[in-house]
């Protein structure tokens, strides 16, 4: 059983960033009214020892920062420490370059495996490429969330092995928003991976929005950055064509969706997010499919947001810590 240490925040909805975006806050009245406070996030992964929390807190406080909330995870009988801090600071008093240096010093002090700091108001948004096949539901959902400002990313391109006509909803949307669309016809012999790599060189991570192609180990190694995938969960599992129809005909009572990192082993990468929903004899095939697709949309979007908010850390060989 894992031991979880937690410091609670007095700020409401700390764990609900979908409802509260990162904004700058101005101090009310008086001589401080010209100061603008900004949110920062810091994640830390290092061997466990006494004093880590104290040093992290001291680092932020010594620069005039204020910790709004912190999550800490120390697995039982394992010499490893994980933390995620959200804090408020004045970028004039604590410049971004100085912040990087301060956290780097802490990283060296504790021999950290990972120390990442992000200031959403100041740092560039994550650049992503989206890969999709014929099904539109996840792709369209991500595009609309992006347009509404609910996904803190910059979409550099959409790549598909399915050709969409010039007057389709997706193409019209992409054209209005100046997002390139690349159609690459794939075959079993040629997955066009070299061309895909050229198109996504400048991205920070990739999203497979129901991309019905297997990325090779060579592609993953060459790309060298994270790839996030979504797939359905129909219990029991159904292989082959039209799995939703198979599951419906079998009368399953529970469906779900899993978002995970892509590895060489098919659909076996570390899990970021999972969602489930019950179905019943009252569902017809149409409502069954709608429920399944809705879970996939929600699950993928939540996984992406968690990733962008630095909530996801690798744990052991094939697991994740998700704060």
Alpha helices in the chain (DSSP H): 52-62, 96-109, 137-147, 169-176, 193-199, 217-223, 243-249, 285-308
**The one catalytic residue among 100, 123, 249, 267:** 267
Query: Residues 158, 180: contact at Cβ < 8 Å?
Result: yes
Q: What does the alpha-carbon distance between residue 89 and residue 64 come to, in Å, rounded to a whole number?
A: 7
267 is catalytic: yes
247 closest CA partner among 268, 266, 232, 267: 232
Q: What does the alpha-carbon distance between residue 73 and residue 61 come to, in Å, rounded to a whole number?
A: 22
Residue 95 to residues 64, 220, 255, 301, Cα–Cα distance (Å): 12, 36, 48, 32
Q: What does the alpha-carbon distance between residue 267 and residue 259 come to, in Å, rounded to a whole number?
A: 9
**Beta partners for residue 3, in sequence order:** 74
Burial label for 135, CB within 10 Å (0-12, 13-18, 19+), is middle
Q: What does the alpha-carbon distance between residue 72 and residue 81 come to, in Å, rounded to a whole number?
A: 7
148 closest CA partner among 18, 243, 51: 18
Catalytic residue numbers?
267
């Amino acid at each position: 059983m894992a031991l979880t240490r937690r410091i609670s925040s007095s700020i409401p909805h700390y764990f609900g960033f979908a409802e509260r975006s990162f904004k700058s806050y101005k101090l009310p009245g008086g001589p401080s009214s010209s100061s603008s406070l900004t949110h920062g996030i810091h994640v830390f992964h290092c061997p466990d020892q006494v004093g880590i929390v104290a040093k992290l807190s001291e680092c932020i406080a010594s620069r005039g920062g204020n910790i709004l909330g912190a999550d800490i995870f120390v697995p039982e009988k394992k010499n490893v420490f994980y933390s995620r801090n959200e804090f408020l600071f004045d970028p004039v008093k604590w410049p971004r370059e100085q912040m990087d240096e301060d956290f780097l010093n802490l990283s060296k002090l504790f021999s950290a495996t990972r120390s990442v700091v992000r200031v959403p108001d100041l740092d560039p948004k994550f650049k992503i490429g989206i890969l999709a096949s014929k099904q539109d539901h996840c792709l369209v959902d991500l595009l609309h969330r992006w347009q509404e400002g609910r996904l803190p990313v910059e979409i550099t391109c959409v790549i598909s092995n399915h050709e969409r006509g010039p007057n389709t909803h997706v193409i019209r949307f992409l054209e209005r928003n100046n997002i390139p669309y690349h159609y690459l016809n794939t075959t079993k012999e040629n997955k066009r991976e070299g061309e895909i790599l050229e198109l996504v060189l400048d991205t920070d991570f990739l999203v497979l929005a129901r991309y019905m192609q297997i990325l090779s180990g060579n592609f993953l190694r060459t790309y060298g950055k994270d790839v996030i995938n979504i797939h359905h969960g129909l219990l029991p599992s159904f292989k082959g064509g039209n799995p939703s129809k198979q599951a419906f005909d079998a009368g399953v009572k529970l469906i779900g969706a899993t978002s995970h990192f892509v590895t060489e082993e098919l659909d076996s990468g570390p899990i970021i997010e999972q969602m489930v929903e019950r179905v019943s004899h009252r569902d017809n095939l149409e409502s069954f499919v709608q429920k399944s697709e809705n879970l996939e949309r929600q699950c993928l979007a939540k996984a992406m947001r968690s990733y962008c908010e630095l909530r996801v850390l690798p744990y052991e060989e094939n697991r994740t810590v998700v704060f």
